[in-house]
Amino acid sequence: MRIFGVVSFVLASLYLAGCSSTAGVDALQVPSSETTSSVVRPSAPVARAVKTADTETTVETASMTGAARFRPPAPLLDDQNARPFGLAEEETVAFPAPDLPDTVEPPVQEAALVSPPKRLSRAAPAMLASPVTRYAFRDAKPINFGRSSPRHLAVHGVDVSRWQGNINWQKLRAQGANFAYIKATDGGDHLDPMFMRNWRNADAAGLKRGAYHFFYWCRTAGEQADWFIRNVPKVDGALPPVIDVEWNGDSSCRRRPSREKVLEKMQVFMDKLERHYGQRPIIYTSPDFYRDNLRGAFPDYPFWLRAVAAHPSKVYPGRKWLFWQYSGSGLSHGVSGRVDLNVFHGDERQWRNWLGGGQMVADAD
């Protein structure tokens, strides 16, 4: 019994010593400095150029992630309730603060903060196999184009922005929208709040999609190109980016540079986009701006021409074109109100060839 008692005492002592030792180690532990991959660290501030008069300075802006990207710009229109039509007329409305309805998805992240997929030189076969939906649009202000009616062309589409609100893309596709150009950016700091929602949903409905940028003549071309690249993903099968160049009297930017300066700034912008996306940008323009600046310019670039009262061959004589915006008053299931209507200059075979990467600049007639 004595031996058993001694053994029991020794075992109890060892057990108590072990517990004391463990408690001491726990008391010395400190929280880990590691973070999990679910923790998002704020990105470094992004420098952007701000040009005043002819002097350009650089200021530091907040991170472009999260709500910071929705810094409301200064108002640009006295009447922001006016509902403009066409590409350029809508672009000068100041975007609202981030108090968006629940149906609007979060803003798109900067391209620099995500890993973009590899760009292919030709569209995938599945993308080319989608059937062309025939024209079924109506028009609130129909124009009789006679024998040159856009109805005779096979591939129709739309261009949209925040003004179209929540779009039912499946219904729009069924009406005859085979492609959509979607407002993305203007100037150097404006982002259409519906861009990413439209970008995703148009693709899900089977439309070929592209993005356009409204060019400001009071900002440098380089910073505008950077802003577009940050906000428009580089993805397989997307249509070439579009630079929208027009005079816009409603904008806070009233500057009208010389023709030489206009062409120089456009070239800088387009070169930067072509290097990034691997596609030659398309030039969208209106009759007055074309008359002042673009006659005879950029013969190797595809043009998208606005001509809502006559055929492009009459409004832009001698100019080859790829897309024709023939109406700013289109009506369609899936869209509340009016929508811009466009058509591709070619038949279905030429459309598929162009989507596949073929270089095509259609004739002027």
When divided into structural domains, the chain yields a total of: 1
Closest CA to 201 of 335, 291, 350: 335
Distance CA 179, CA 237 (A): 12
Task: Report d(CA 359, CA 313) in Å as an integer.
Answer: 21
Q: How far is CA 236 from the centre of its chain?
A: 14
User: Alpha-carbon distance 87 to 183, whole Å?
Assistant: 8
On whether the CB atoms of residues 188 and 49 are closer than 8 A, the answer is yes
Backbone angles phi, psi at 98, to 5 degrees: -75, 15
Residue 75 covered by a domain: no
In a domain, 110, yes or no: no
* Mean pLDDT of the chain, nearest integer: 75
CA 264 vs CA 84, 248, 336: distances in Å: 29, 19, 39
Q: Could you tell me if residue 84 is inside a domain? A: no
Q: How far apart are CA 94 and CA 153, in angstroms?
A: 36
Q: Which of 212, 310, 294 shows the shortest CA–CA distance to 259?
A: 294
Q: How far is CA 164 from the centre of its chain?
A: 15
Per-residue pLDDT of the chain (365 residues; tens, 9 = 90+): 444 554 455 455 544 444 444 333 333 333 333 332 333 333 333 333 434 333 333 333 333 333 333 333 433 333 333 434 345 433 333 333 334 343 333 333 333 322 333 333 333 433 444 789 998 999 999 999 999 999 999 999 999 999 999 999 999 999 999 999 999 999 999 999 999 999 999 999 999 999 999 999 999 999 999 999 999 999 999 999 999 999 987 777 888 999 999 999 999 999 999 999 999 999 999 999 999 999 999 999 999 999 999 999 999 999 999 999 999 999 999 999 999 999 999 999 999 999 997 555 556 66
- Residue 209, domain member (yes or no): yes
- Using DSSP's 3-state secondary structure scheme, residue 62 falls into coil
Looking up tokens 């995500």 gives 114
Query: Distance between CA atoms of 255 and 360, rounded to whole angstroms?
Result: 34
Pairing of strands 190-191, 179-186: antiparallel
Structure tokens at 304: 């998208």
Q: Other CB atoms closer than 10 Å to residue 61's CB: what's the count?
A: 15
- Rounded distance between C-alpha atoms, residue 270 and residue 215, angstroms: 11
User: Which class for 64: exposed (0-12), middle (13-18), buried (19 or more C-beta within 10 A)?
Assistant: buried
Q: Confirm whether 230 is domain-assigned.
A: yes
The per-residue pLDDT for range 77-86, each reduced to its tens digit, is 333 334 343 4
Sequential DSSP letters for 328-353? EEEE-TT-SS-EEEEEESS-HHHHHH
- Beta-carbon count within 10 A of 305 CB: 25
Q: pLDDT digit string (tens) for 109-143? A: 333 322 333 333 333 433 444 789 998 999 999 99
CATH classification at residue 196: 3.20.20.80
Q: Is position 213 within any domain?
A: yes
Assigned domain for 297 exists: yes
Active site residue 348: no
**Pair of tokens at residue 33:** 């400095």
How far CA 350 is from CA of 153, 155, 179, 194, 354, in Å, comes to 11, 10, 15, 31, 6
Residue range(s) defining the domain that contains residue 192: 123-355
Q: How many CB atoms are located within 10 Å of the residue 75 CB?
A: 11
Q: Which candidate in 60, 105, 246, 274 is catalytic? A: 246
Q: What residues contact residue 92 under an 8 Å CB cut-off, 6+ apart? A: 76, 77, 186, 248, 250, 251, 252
Q: Considering all CA atoms of the chain, what is the largest pairwise distance in Å, rounded to the nearest integer? A: 120
Residue 189 placed within a domain: yes
Instruction: State how far the Cα of 37 lies from the Cα of 82, in Å rounded to an integer.
Output: 46
